[in-house]
Amino acid sequence: MSSSSTTMAAIWALAIIHLLLLLPLLRSSIVFELHGDVYPTGLFYVTMNIGEPAKPYNLDVDTGSPLTWLECDAPLQSTHKGPHEAYRPTPTNVVPCDDERCVAVHRDLGLAHDCTRNPDQCDYVFGYKDGESSLGVLLADQFSLPTNNENRPNLAFGCGYDQEGGQEAGKKLVEADGVLGIGRGTGDLVSQLKQQGIITDNIFGHCLGVHGGGFLFFGGDRVPSAGVTWVPMAQNVGSHYSPGAATLNLNVQLEYPVGVTLEGSSLTKVDDDALAECWEENEPIQFVDDVKSKFKPLELTFGHGANQATMEIPPENYIVVTKTGKVCLGILNGSQIGLDRLNLIGGNTMQNYIMIYDNERARIGWARASCYEMPGLEPLIGSRL
């Protein structure tokens, strides 16, 4: 080989090494560690550092609402107390009513955008299906995000000074200081990060560990390159993410309410206030592992023909044990809480799946995964990617 060829080969080798070293810096995705579990905590939350100086706040992750808010000392009128001191705004944090971010939030929440009463601030009220509500004003402050380029974008969020109602609200706010609302919208945090160029794609995903914890990511370059099942997002379902109508299968086609076939079981069908389909044994049931062998896997089938896709749900992902020692089907009949034909598939069903919400292509994807490391990457918990 000539000296010039050797020199060129060396240059190419150095260029490839340099590119490999730069790849982590080129990623725009943001990864957060998830805390909490399905039971007994009853929620998954992330810790975000907000303000100047930055202070930590725990935010309950909610894919069904587009509003992120913190309990706010403005003055704080609700009786709920989170794990950290309430966020204290300053006049410079307040977003005026004519700001585009206020327009977006009002549109996302279905509120009339009327600035005649309070032109200097952006008021909101938002009610959740469980009866909880948040009343507040829109603020903007710096978010210290776990990115390689030390981005501290100025993002809009709610200053919730009056939170009321909801059977689980008090319990949740023992662990959380507010809500990370990443439901479908134009003013949610993921949309804002895309608009500011912090992430390149309006895509996010999560992976809930079967024993708690897991991760949440914003941005498209953390989506697995293979092995993902995709279905179109249903339209006209508000801020919810839905794959549309599905058939629930347990060896035979079933309709809701579901008649679950048990494997030679001593379980007896009973009524329970917690969920619609429940069973009990002679003695109170303590753990899902004690009874999961008595149930068969469920299948949720979406679409038809060539576009058909199926998600298999093992028993430990769809049954829950209640406080009264009963075992119940963990799929909530949405008509009971005002969601009409929508049924809610909770976090328990999605454990050990990476779930992807691709707003760029209006699709939802999933793949079986270990929720303690990103596919193809080193373990991420506690790391900066």
Select, from the ranges 137-151, 182-196, 334-348, the one with the highest average predicted confidence (pLDDT).
182-196
Q: Which residues pair with 203 in a beta bridge?
A: 358
Give per-residue pLDDT as tens, 43-66: 999 999 999 999 999 999 999 999
| Across 9-16, average pLDDT | 55
Phi/psi region, residue 143 (left: phi>0; alpha: psi -120 to 50; beta: rest), is beta
Give per-residue pLDDT as tens, 248-272: 775 433 333 344 556 656 788 898 8
Domain locations in the chain as residue ranges: 30-222, 232-368
Residue 353 in contact with residue 367, Cβ under 8 Å?
yes
- Asked, colleague to colleague, whether 30-222 and 232-368 share their fold, the answer is yes
343 by DSSP, 3-state: which?
coil
Q: Please state, in angstroms and rounded to a whole number, the distance separating the CA atoms of residues 48 and 179.
A: 11
- Cα 210 to chain centroid distance, Å, stands at 15
Q: How many residues does the chain have?
A: 385
pLDDT-based confidence at residue 201 (cuts at 50, 70, 90)? very high
Q: Please state, in angstroms and rounded to a whole number, the distance separating the CA atoms of residues 222 and 267.
A: 43
Contacts 24+ apart (CB under 8 A), 268-273: 270/326, 272/322, 272/324, 272/326, 272/328
User: Taking CA 60 as the corner, what is the angle to CA 56 and CA 62, rounded to the nearest 5 degrees?
Assistant: 140
Superfamily of domain 30-222: Acid Proteases (2.40.70.10)
| Across 66-85, average pLDDT | 80
297 C-beta neighbours (distance < 10 Å), count: 14
Q: What is the pTM of this model?
A: 0.82
**Fold held by 232-368:** Cathepsin D, subunit A; domain 1 (2.40.70)
330 by DSSP, 3-state: which?
coil
| Across 16-32, average pLDDT | 57
